[in-house]
Amino acid sequence: MTEFIEALQTAGLAMVKPAIIADGRLHRYRVDGDKAGSLNGWYVLHLEAQPFGAFGSWKTGQSETWTATDRAHPTNAERQALQERMAAARAARDAEQAKIHAATRERAAKLWARSAPAGNDHPYLERKGVRAYGIRQLRGQIVIPLRDVDGELHSLQFIGANGKKVLLTGGRKRGCYHALGRPERALCICEGYATGATIHMATGHATAVAFDAGNLEPVARALRGKFPRLPMVICADNDTGTPGNPGLTAANAAALAVGAAVAVPTFLEVAHV
C-alpha cells in the first residue's frame, strides 16, 4: 500500500488525503494540485498474490501501471493472473473514460448552444491581431470547439481576455481540432488558435488547431486518413527557450508520421535606437 502511494507521488499524481481501497475496482480521486471537488485521478489496486495496480489522470491522459518490488520473479500462474488484472484494469479505465467523455460532450453542447458568435473586437483577438473564425463567446471568454474528423463536438477551450486558456474538464482532446477554412490546395496544422488564425489569414490555406504539441500527431494522423493525398504542413511552435524545443520536436514527429512538410518560424531581433 505504501509503495503504491509512493508510486502516485513519483508520477506527479499524489492523492489528497490518501485513502486507498484495494478491491480491484476503479476508484476516482482528487489529484494534489487540482481544484477542490475535482476527481480527475483514477486507480485500480489488487494486493493479494502478485500485487498489481494501475492509475492515471483523466485531465492529462496520463496512465501508469505498478507492481510490488518484492515479487520480482512471479510464477507462471501469477504472471497469467497479472495479465488478466491488467486487461481488467484497462477495460475498467476505458469504460469509465467513455462515461466521462459522454457527459462532457453533453455539457459542451449545452455551453456551445448558450454562447454567441465571437466578434473580432474581443480583447484577446485584438491583442493577437487575428479574426474570429468559427468561434463563440460566453461570459467574456472566447469559446473554441474541439471536433473530430466527422465534425462531432467533444469539448471546448475557453480563452479569457488575459489569454488564460482552459479546456473543459473530462473532454476528449486526442485527435480533435478546430478547423479554419476548407482544405483545397494544402492543409496546415498548428498548436494554438491565434497561431492558426494568423496562418489562415496570411496564406488562405485551411488550418487545423490541435491545441497543444502532444496533439499534433494524433490530429495529423486523423486528417491524413480523411485527406490521403492532400499536401500538409505542420506549423511548429519554435520553443527555443524550452529545453528540447518540444514544439519543434512534436512537429517533426507529426510530419514524419503523415508525410508532411514542417514550417518553423524564425524570430528576428529588433535593434532599438
Identify the pLDDT of residue 11: 93
Domain extent listing, the chain:
2-105, 115-263
Identify the pLDDT of residue 110: 97
Give the closest residue to 87 by CA, choosing from 49, 44, 27: 44
Considering the entire predicted model, what is its pTM?
Answer: 0.80
Cβ contacts of residue 262 below 8 Å, gap of 6+?
233, 234, 236, 248, 251, 252, 255
Identify the pLDDT of residue 71: 57
Separation CA 192–CA 186 (nearest Å): 19
Give the closest residue to 194 by CA, choosing from 239, 142, 238: 142
Cell numbers standing for residue 92: 475498467
pLDDT along the chain (273 residues), means of 10: 91 90 90 87 84 86 81 71 80 86 95 96 96 96 97 97 91 94 95 97 97 95 96 93 90 97 80 52
Give the closest residue to 132 by CA, choosing from 116, 147, 153: 116
Identify the pLDDT of residue 241: 83
